[in-house]
Amino acid sequence: MSAQPLVRVRMQSACQHSKFALQVSNLDLVLDKHQILHNISFDVAEGQFIGLLGPNGAGKSSLLRCLYRFFTLSSGQITLFNKTISSFSHNEYAQQVAVVLQEMPEHFNLSLYDVVAMGITPHKSLFSPLNKADHELIAKSIEQVGLTHKINESFAHLSGGEKQRALIAKAMAQKPRLLIMDEPTSHLDVKYQIQIMELAKAMGITVVASFHDLNLAAAMSDSLLVLQQGELYKSGTPTDVLDAQLLSDVFDVCAEVTQVPCPYRDKTHIPHIRYHFGYQL
Ligand SMILES: Nc1ncnc2c1ncn2[C@@H]1O[C@H](COP(=O)(O)OP(=O)(O)OP(=O)(O)O)[C@@H](O)[C@H]1O
């Protein structure tokens, strides 16, 4: 691995003076005596869309689990809007951070509507009923993911992709300031892979999302973080990060990288990867 010096990375190219949503400092994670993450530091400016990349086992889910407090750091610090994440109460954190995972939670007896309504819970006091604005927000969130026709169906009976879209709608109803997504498009057909990421982007909030589709990550992300063997290997804009050398060194594939116009940013280009096949020959 052509390791780069581990520097404190500031991902704020689009907005030099905005405040940081997230600051990760010298993060180490040790599980069962194994060092899973090592000395990870980066800052994310508010409103940035960050793509988290790396091969299988690189530590993407583990890093995201640290961000959403499923794992406790072995050392280092994470702050959300200048406040260390361990100092938030459970409810305060749920008001700020929504999480969409690739695993499906079991909601056996709930309708799609009920599941999306759960997104509003952190903002309601105990036993306070949903009001008209809440119902409108739930219906609008469901409409935005294209599931209005299934609104009263059992969540358990939805397809994998429909469940994933329902969980995005729940995150939208939650109105978070940070959205964490761990491979949220894994069950989706290609149209919804793009649409879900565009919906997340349109929320206008800070997003940290892991991807295996590098072209989708390049198109959606303001900045990329590349992990390898638990370390931050490279970071920067998609154009800075994704080149043939990195794809060979980190992902062990042979590919050609060209620059194509970016659908989201005028006059900018983003990398487009074309993989070469024939590894078994
Ligand atoms: N609870 C755990 N206990 C021990 N080791 C773990 C635990 N969770 C993850 N690991 C290990 O940490 C490493 C990183 O796993 P992680 O799931 O974070 O990788 P990833 O980049 O998300 O991989 P993938 O792309 O395959 O989902 C792996 O070697 C994994 O076996």
Check whether 19 has a pLDDT greater than 90.
no
Token pair for 121: 């819970």
Contact 167, 187 (CB under 8 A): no
Measured between alpha carbons, how far apart are the two ends of the chain, in Å? 25
pLDDT higher than 70, residue 12: no
pLDDT tens digits, 27-56: 999 999 999 999 999 999 999 999 999 999
- Of 34, 68, 181, 185, the one to substitute when testing ligand 1's pocket (max ligand atoms within 8 A of C-beta) is 34
Look at residue 280 in the predicted model and tell me its pLDDT.
57
Taking the centre of ligand 1 as the mean of its atom positions, its distance from the CA of residue 93, in whole angstroms, is: 24
Residue 248: beta bridge partners? none
pLDDT reading at 168 higher than 50: yes
Element (H, E) at 11: strand 9-11
Pocket test for ligand 1, best of 31, 71, 232 (most atoms within 8 A of CB): 31
CA–centroid distance, residue 48 to ligand 1 (Å):
25
Distance (Å) from CA 206 to ligand 1 centroid: 24
Q: What pLDDT, on a 0 to 100 scale, did the predictor assign at position 66? A: 98
User: Long-range contacts of range 134-141, CB-CB < 8 Å, 24 or more positions apart?
Assistant: 137/173, 137/175, 138/113, 138/173, 141/116, 141/169, 141/170, 141/172, 141/173
pLDDT digits (tens, 9 = 90+) for 230-265: 999 999 999 999 999 999 999 999 999 999 988 766
Distance from the CA of 229 to the center of ligand 1, in angstroms? 10
Tokens of 176: 């978070």
Rounded to the nearest 10 degrees, the angle between the axes of helix 132-144 and helix 160-174 is 140
pLDDT band at 1 (very low <50, low <70, confident <90, very high): very low
Work out the number of other CB atoms within 10 angstroms of the CB of residue 201: 18
Of residues 253, 258, 255, 280, the one with CA closest to residue 270: 258
pLDDT given for residue 9 in this prediction:
55
pLDDT(16) > 50 = no
226 lines ligand 1 (CB under 6 A): no
What is the interface pTM, i.e. ipTM, of the complex?
A: 0.97
Structural domain spans, the chain: 91-97+107-176
CA of 232 to the centre of ligand 1 (A): 15
| Average pLDDT over every residue of 192-196 | 86
- Does 18 score more than 90 pLDDT? no
> What stretches of 50-96 show up as alpha helix (H) in DSSP?
60-67, 90-96
**Percent of the chain surpassing pLDDT 90:** 70
Q: What's the mean per-residue pLDDT of the chain?
A: 89
Residue 31 near ligand 1, beta carbon < 6 Å: yes
Rounded to 5°, the CA angle 148-202-80 comes to 115
Please tell me the pTM assigned to this model: 0.90
CA-nearest residue, atom 28 of ligand 1 = 57
Grade residue 74 by pLDDT with cuts at 50, 70 and 90. Answer: very high
pLDDT in tens, 89-139: 999 999 999 999 987 777 668 999 999 999 998 887 777 888 999 999 999
Q: What is the pLDDT of residue 263?
A: 72
